[in-house]
Chain A
Amino acid sequence: MSIKPFAVAALVTAAALAFTGCATNEATPAGTGSASGSQTLTGVGASSQKAAQEKWVADFQTKNSSITVNYSPDGSGAGRSAFIAGAAAFAGSDRPFKDEEMGAGKFAGCAADSNALDLPVYISPIAVVYNLDGVTDLALDPATIAGIFAGKITKWNDPAIAATNPKAKLPDLAITAVHRGDDSGTTNNFTDTLNKLAPTVWTEKASDTYPAAFGGEAANGTSGVIQAVTGGAGTIGYADASAAGKLGKASIIVNGKPLQPTADAAASILDHSKTIAGRDANDLAYSLDRTSEGVYPAVLVSYAIVCQTYKDPAVGALVKSYVGYMASADGQKAAAEAAGSAPLSADLQAKVKAALDSVK
C-alpha cells in the first residue's frame, strides 16, 4: 500500500509532462516567438549534419540566449516532408529538392507565392577506408573501386589493383567490402560517385539504400562500418573522412591524379559544379560535377532548405540569423572542428549570405 501514493504522484507527473509536451508542440508548430519573449526555431533533417548542428546550436544559443534552436536529426527524407508540411522552419537535407518538388505554394510554412531555397551548408568528403596489413598507401581508380564494391574484384592481388599500386605488396587475400546497412546520404553520394565515374562497372543508380545485387558486408551506421573495417582482415569500406581514425584512406585517381579526401579537394567540388538551371538566382542547388580536375569526387553536400518568404516574418528572421551563422566563416570553422567537415569556400559563403539576405 505504501507504494500507492508514490505511484499516483508518478502518474500525475507523467500526465503533466505529457500535456505540457502537447501544449509546447501546439504553440510552436514551426518556430515562433511566444508571449514571454523567448523564441524557438525548429529544424528537422539529415543526420549527417548532426554533429555540426549540435555545435552550431550550442554556439548560436550562447550568443542569442533568448532563442532556442531544435534540430532533430531524423533523416533527410523526414526533414523534407516536415518542411513541406510546415512542421519545420528549415530542413537539413543531403540533396536539394528536385525540380518537380519545387514550386510556389507547395510548402505549408512559406507564404503562398514563395518557393523554397536550397542552400549548401555542410560539405563532407567520403573516404574509402581499408585495412590491409603491410599496405599504407593505396591509390585506386574509380572503375577498380566500383569493381571491388560490386563484388567483381575479389582478391587484393587483382591486376586492376596492382596496376595503380606498383610498389605495394598486395597479398593473395579475399576483399571484404563493407557498406552501410541502413539508408544513408553517404551511401547515396558514394554510389552516385561510382555511377558517374565508372558507369560501365557500377550499373546501379545513386540510392540511399545500398544496392542488394552487389552483395558485400553490411554494417550499421558510420561507426559500424569503421568498426567492421578495423576489426576485419582485408576489408574496405566507405565512411565520412572525419570518422576514419587510424584506418588507411585510399586515394581516388581522377584524370590520372590520385586525390586524398582533404577538405580543400572536397570543398572545391562546388566551385567546379553548376547550380541546377531554371531556378531562382538565389537557389544554390548544385548538380555535382564529380569529374573535374583536382576535385575529390566522393563528397556529400548537405543543404539547409528555407523559404523565400515565410508566412510568419518572425520565423523568417530567426531562420536568417541561424542559417546565416551556419554558413558564416565562424560557423563553417566550428563545424570543421566539431564534425570534420570541409568549410565552404569564401566565395560560396558570400553567395549563401546573399541568398539569405533575400529571405523574408
Chain B
Amino acid sequence: MTAKLSSTPVGSAAAQPKPGPDPKRPGEAVFRGLATGAGILILVILALVASFLLIQGGPALFADPAKLATQGYGEFVSWVLPFAFGTVWAALLALLIAVPVAIGIALFISHYAPRKLAQPLGYLIDLLAAVPSVVFGLWGSVVLAPAMLPLFTTLNSSLGFIPLFAGQVSGTGRTILTVAVVLATMILPIITSLCREVFLQAPRLHEEAALALGATRWEMIKMAVLPFARPGMIAAVMLGLGRALGETMAVTMVLSGSRNITLELLTSQNPNTIAATIAQNFAEAFGLKTSQLIAAGLVLFLITLAVNSIARWIVARRAQYSGAN
C-alpha cells in the first residue's frame, strides 16, 4: 500500500522511457530478469509450502476416523475446530487492544508530536518490532501474567455477570486475555509504523485547506487525514492480524491452552491456538500424529490466506472512493 502511495507523482510518467529490454543496455535485461525471477520465486515458494502441507498432512486428512482416534489425536475436524477458533479469537482480541493504541501513537507521531520527539519515538516503536517473540513470551509468563491477576479478580467479581468475565479466575493469570495483551504488544509496532507512514502521506494541501476553513486539529485529521489513510490503515491492521494469527512462541509460553471453545477470558480453560498446539506436540509426535499436526498447519495456512485475501479485497474496494483521489 505504501509502495502504491509513494509511487511516481502524476505527470512524470510520460517523461520516463518506455519499459522493455533495450539491446544497448544489458543491465536492463538482467535487472528485469532478476525482478521477474524474484516475483516468480515467491509464487513457487507458496506453492511448495502448500503442497508440503497437503502431502505431509494428507494421511491424517484422509485417514479413517477410527484409526485417527487410536493413533492420532482424534477425529480431525472436531479436533482442529477449537484450535482454529482459539487462533482467530486470540488474534481478534489482540487487534481490539492494539489498533486504537497504534493509531493513536501513529497520529501523535505524524501530527501532534514536536519534531524533536517524533523521530526518536518512531525509532523506539520500530525497535519494539525487533524484540524476538520468545522474549515477549518470557515477559508474558513471568511478569505480565502474575501482574494481571488482581485485575482479573476485580473484573470477575464486578463484571462477572458478563459471560466474557465469568467463570473461575485462573490462579496464574495465564489466560487468553493475557495472551491478547502480549500479542497486542507484538503487533503494535507493525501497525504503528505503517499507519504513521500513511498519515504522513496525506496531502499537505488538503490539510492546510481544512485548517484554513477553520477546522480544529482533530477536525482536520478527521476530514483530510483519516479518509485518505483508510486503505493503508486497513492494510496495516491486516498485516498485524497476520502476525497475531501465526504467533507461536509467545502463545505457547503464556497460554494455559486446552481443547475447548469458550468466550470466557479469565479462566484456566482457554482455547489453544493452532500454532501453539503444533509447537507443543510436534517434538514428541510420530506417525499419524505428525501428519495430523501438519494438517492443522494447513488449516492455519488457509485461515491466514483467507484473512489476507479479505484484506486485499477491502483495500481494493475502498481505494476507489477514498480521499486519495
Contact = CB atoms under 8 A, between A and B. Distances in A.
B171 A74 contact: no
A86 interface: no
A219 B285 contact: no
A217 B270 CA distance: 9
B172 A81 contact: no
Interface stretch (A224-232, A249-257, A268-276): A224-232
B187 interface: no
Nearest to B280: A182
B172 A235 contact: yes
6 contacts: A175-B171, A212-B260, A217-B174, A219-B256, A224-B141, A228-B141
Nearest to B73: A209
B146 A232 contact: yes
A76 B287 CA distance: 13
A232 to B, nearest CB: 3
A131 to B, nearest CB: 9
Interface in B265-295: 268-269, 272, 279-281, 283-287, 289
Contacts of B169: 174
Nearest to B251: A220
Nearest to B290: A78
B268 A81 contact: no
A225 to B, nearest CB: 10
A218 B142 CA distance: 15
Given A178-B172, A232-B149, 16 more contacts: A47-B284, A77-B287, A78-B285, A181-B280, A182-B281, A183-B281, A184-B284, A216-B268, A217-B174, A217-B256, A224-B141, A228-B174, A231-B142, A232-B170, A232-B173, A233-B172
A32 interface: no
A228 B178 CA distance: 13
A234 B260 CA distance: 24
B268 A231 contact: no
B268 A227 contact: no
Nearest to B172: A232
Given A174-B171, A176-B171, A217-B171, A231 B283 contact: no
A176 B287 CA distance: 34
Contacts of A218: 256-258, 268, 272
B281 A81 contact: no
A292 to B, nearest CB: 30
Contacts, number: 99
Nearest to B279: A220
A75 B268 contact: no
A313 interface: no
Given A47-B284, A81-B286, A220-B252, A215 B269 contact: yes
Contacts of A232: 146, 149, 170-174
A218 B276 CA distance: 12
Contacts of B256: 178, 181, 217-219, 228
A81 B171 contact: no
A231 B170 contact: no
A227 B142 contact: yes
Contacts of A229: 172
A74 B258 CA distance: 23
Given A220-B253, A228-B141, A235 B284 contact: no
A174 B252 contact: no
A231 B173 contact: yes
Nearest to A227: B141
Contacts of A154: 168
B284 A77 contact: yes
A208 B284 CA distance: 10
Contacts of A216: 268
A183 B284 contact: yes
A182 B168 CA distance: 23
Interface string B243-266: 000000000110011111000000
Nearest to B276: A220
A228 B253 contact: no
Contacts of B268: 176, 215-218
A74 B142 contact: no
A47 B283 contact: yes
A78 B169 CA distance: 37
Given A174-B168, A227-B141, A231-B142, A77 B174 contact: no
Contacts of B183: none
Contacts of A176: 170-172, 268
Given A232-B171, A233-B149, A182 B257 contact: no
B209 to A, nearest CB: 47
A220 B280 contact: yes
Contact of A181 (B142, B145, B257): B257
A217 B173 CA distance: 10
